[in-house]
Amino acid sequence: SRFETCWPALMKDSHGVIIIFNPDLPSHLKEIEMWYSCFVQQQPLLDSQCLLVAHHKPGSAGDTENLSLAYPLNKLKLIHSNLEEDPEDVRMEFIKYFRSIITIINESREREELSIIS
């Protein structure tokens, strides 16, 4: 896409990636594979540093049960957001995700400090 030249700047020193997509659009399902490849695999980040959000627009059927993603996306944490019905649920999932990222950052910082000391 036309913003690809900006991607290296966006990726620099990033600790996590959240990919939000519309599960009702087949084109989005193809695109998230590209986003995952560019922003997670090539950095490289751990899968636990990536969160997929299937965002259901108001009034859409919101078939949360039958969304099956192909490998490697099926290894990622996937949450369904429908802000009409359950905004609190989504908020809690985001908090959990941010906590896990902070844990990863702290652990890698400790490892760095230990390697400097030893």
Q: Which residues pair with 2 in a beta bridge?
A: none
Question: By three-state DSSP, how is residue 55 classified?
Answer: strand
Q: Could you check whether the bond before residue 58 is cis, i.e. omega within 30 degrees of 0? A: no
Q: Give the chain's domains with CATH numbers.
A: 7-117 (3.40.50)
Please report, for residues 17, 50, 72, 105, 113, the alpha-carbon distance to residue 110 in angstroms, rounded to integers and kept in the order given.
Answer: 22, 22, 30, 9, 5
pLDDT of residue 67: 80
pTM: 0.83
pLDDT of residue 77: 95
pLDDT of residue 2: 64
CA–CA dist 38, 8 (Å, integer): 10
The tens digit of pLDDT for each residue in 37-62 reads: 999 998 889 999 999 999 988 777 65
E-only strand ranges, the chain? 17-21, 50-55, 77-81
> Is the pLDDT at 64 greater than 70, yes or no?
no
CA–CA dist 44, 69 (Å, integer): 21
Q: What is the largest CA-CA distance in the chain?
A: 58
Q: Which residues pair with 52 in a beta bridge?
A: 19, 78
CA–CA dist 8, 43 (Å, integer): 10
The tens digit of pLDDT for each residue in 66-118 reads: 688 889 999 999 999 887 777 888 999 999 999 999 999 999 999 999 999 87
Edge-to-edge order in the sheet of strand 17-21? 17-21, 50-55, 77-81
